[in-house]
Amino acid sequence: MTKAFLLALLLLSPTAFAKGTQPEDLLKGKIIISEKSLPTHWTSVPAYVSQLKGLSKDTFWYDKKSGKLTVQYAAFFAQPVMDVQVDLVIYDITGGSHTQKVSTENFMRQGDRVLFNTVEFDKEDIEPNRKYLVTIQSRRRIIASTQFILRGEGHHYSGKVTFSDDDTK
């Protein structure tokens, strides 16, 4: 092969000569969610992926006092994202429905394949004891996703009903 051919190949396919397998290659299309801080550096890709998978959870509990839950997440994309904005969209998928509950913007560097961020859930907005689908979307196309169950105490009802005089007429 000539030097000109190799140079043309390098310019046309920059990923062909990448520095080996990266975590985003092994976790592409997945979102890792944890209540613990997620590491952002590694010495070994397989060990790092194993550590992330070990930190990942699929069931979370709201704090009984505050009614809130803060989670860390890392989203891994199959291809570089050619936008500076992606959207975190959460759907309630309990019972097979797909009801959108939350949508927030996330900003990142154009061309990145990984996004680390934090999100706080409040049981007033995201109901406990339901199953959710978390997605990262670029231009309304899902590029990473995961599912989890959110647990917590439901509403307490006394069973007592009070009617006004107008109601009883």
pLDDT digits (tens, 9 = 90+) for 17-64: 346 789 999 999 999 999 999 998 888 999 999 999 999 999 999 999
Query: Residue 158 — pLDDT band, cuts 50, 70, 90?
Result: low
135: CATH: 2.60.40.1930
Whether residue 38 lies inside any domain: the answer is yes
Greater pLDDT, 155 or 102: 102
pTM (2 d.p.): 0.78
Write out the residue range of the structural domain in which residue 91 sits. Answer: 19-153
Greater pLDDT, 153 or 43: 43
When divided into structural domains, the chain yields a total of: 1
Average pLDDT, the chain: 85
Whether residue 167 lies inside any domain: the answer is no
Contacts of 29 by beta carbon, 8 Å cutoff, 6+ apart: 76, 77, 78, 143, 144, 145
Contacts of 101 by beta carbon, 8 Å cutoff, 6+ apart: 90, 91, 92, 125, 126, 132
Q: Mean per-residue pLDDT for 62-84?
A: 95
pLDDT digits (tens, 9 = 90+) for 89-114: 999 999 999 999 999 999 999 999 99
Whether residue 97 lies inside any domain: the answer is yes
Whether residue 162 lies inside any domain: the answer is no
Instruction: Answer yes or no: is pLDDT of 12 > 90.
Output: no
Greater pLDDT, 166 or 58: 58
CA 99, CA 133: separation in Å to the nearest integer?
Answer: 10
Among residues 89, 81, 66, which one has the least CA distance to residue 145?
A: 89
